[in-house]
Structure formats: structure tokens, C-alpha cells
Amino acid sequence: MKYNFDEIVSRHHTNSYKWDSATLPDILPMWVADMDFRTAPAIIRALQQRVQHGIFGYTRVPDEYYSAVVGWFSRRHRWQIDREWIIYTSGVVPAISAIIKALTVPGDKVLVQTPVYNCFFPLSETMVVR
């Protein structure tokens, strides 16, 4: 699939946390991992299909998701992982929070290497680890 990564898409005045909080016109807001290229057409089509269904109740993670992750690791890293190793989370911050909670006790130390997303620092503090 070919994709145009050179297309410039203005995200100003779209409620973009990244761009609408930049107060000066020459500021490049590079403080958040938010992409500035248009979403791939296949993803847009999949979302449109879901919207057309009209119901947005609680859903389960489909088996195709796990198969895609296993396949990606195999193709990209030549690493054969088991489906049972995969735990779906809603994002990297909740995932790191759960890992710290599961693998540390109060007083443990957690290393956060910089440069890194600034939201990672308070995670260890709220878990009573250093």
C-alpha cells in the first residue's frame, strides 16, 4: 500500500491538544507523540463500517487482533510469541501503570530513561515507588 507521508494536514482549530495549545505560529509542538499525517484509508474505512453499524456497546478484543500481533512480531522481529503473552490495554500509560503495580512493592525503584513522554514520571510516584 502506498501512502503519502508528504501531505501537510493542518490540525489547527480541530480541538487538537497538540496544535490548539500552541500559542505562537512558529512553535513546533514536539512534546507529545501525536502524528500529523492523515489516517490510512484502510483504517478510515474500518471505522466507517463500525459507525454505520450504529451501536457502540462493550466489545471484546477479536481473535484477529491477537493473530495480527503474533504475525507482526514474527515478520518484523522473527520472534515467535504465544497469544497468551499478549494483554490488550487502552494505551501505554495504563500499561506501564499496571506493570509497575504488578512487579513492584512500595519503596522499589523504577528507572525512567530520558528523553521520554513526561506522563511516565508521575506513574512511579503515585505507586509509592521511586
Average pLDDT over residues 107-130: 79
Average pLDDT over residues 108-123: 84
Is the pLDDT score of 79 beyond 90?
yes
Confidence bin at 114 (pLDDT 50/70/90): confident
The three cell numbers of residue 53 are 453499524
Interacting residues of 91 by C-beta distance below 8 A, sequence separation 6+ = none
CA distances, 2 to each of 5, 40, 41 (Å): 9, 10, 10
Q: What CA dihedral angle connects 71, 75, 78 and 80, to 10 degrees?
A: 10
CA–CA distance, 19 with 14 (Å, rounded to integer): 9
